[in-house]
Amino acid sequence: MSTQLSTPAAQIGTTDWNLTGIRTSRAGERCGHCPRTLKNLYDVENRVTGQKMTVGRGCCKKVTGWTLAAAEAARILRAAAIEARQAAVWAEFAAEHPKDAALLEADIAAWRPAWPSQANRPAHIKNNISRGATPRSWWAGCMREYRRTRCA
Ligand SMILES: [Zn+2]
């Protein structure tokens, strides 16, 4: 039996490989690269070729060329999970308010700060929506306010 921690894609270092999961297997599973039986399994996928493998951390380095520390592996998977969750919230917002989402995206792309450290306001709003800081019940009001005060 194996335990799946999570399955979002996270880039391994600067390589073409994504880490798609960290699993533990009580019975052990055969490494996809060497003959060893592993308890700690790293699922990796090449973004370019689509090749998928399950390897140990040592072979992860041999396959991807990147020394992946266990803590770093856990961290990039967590970050990818947060990113995926935020993208899902943004997709919900865009489905409910397509014109507002398109306006924010366009404003984010067109943003030029009036002074060097000026924050990208539409990006800030998108970020707040995506990470749930702006609750769903405020979405419409927040965008009314944005449309009223934005510099077009
Ligand atoms: Zn191996």
Rounded (10°) CA dihedral 138, 140, 146, 152: 160
* Residue 66 CB contacts under 8 Å (≥ 6 apart), including other chains: 12, 13, 14, 15, 17, 60
Q: Are 47 and 16 in contact (CB under 8 A)?
A: yes
Predicted TM-score (pTM) above 0.75: no
Distance CA 85, CA 142 (A): 21
> What is the mean predicted confidence (pLDDT) over 65-82?
92
Q: What's the mean per-residue pLDDT of the chain? A: 92
Three-class secondary structure of residue 46 per DSSP: strand
What confidence score (pLDDT) does residue 9 get? 72
In the structure, ligand 1 is a single-atom ion and the residues with CB under 5 Å from it are 31, 33-34, 36, 56, 59
Give me the mean pLDDT over the 123-143 stretch: 96
CA of 32 to the centre of ligand 1 (A): 6
Each residue's pLDDT tens digit, 93-131: 999 999 999 999 999 999 999 998 999 999 999 999 999
CA of 34 to the centre of ligand 1 (A): 4
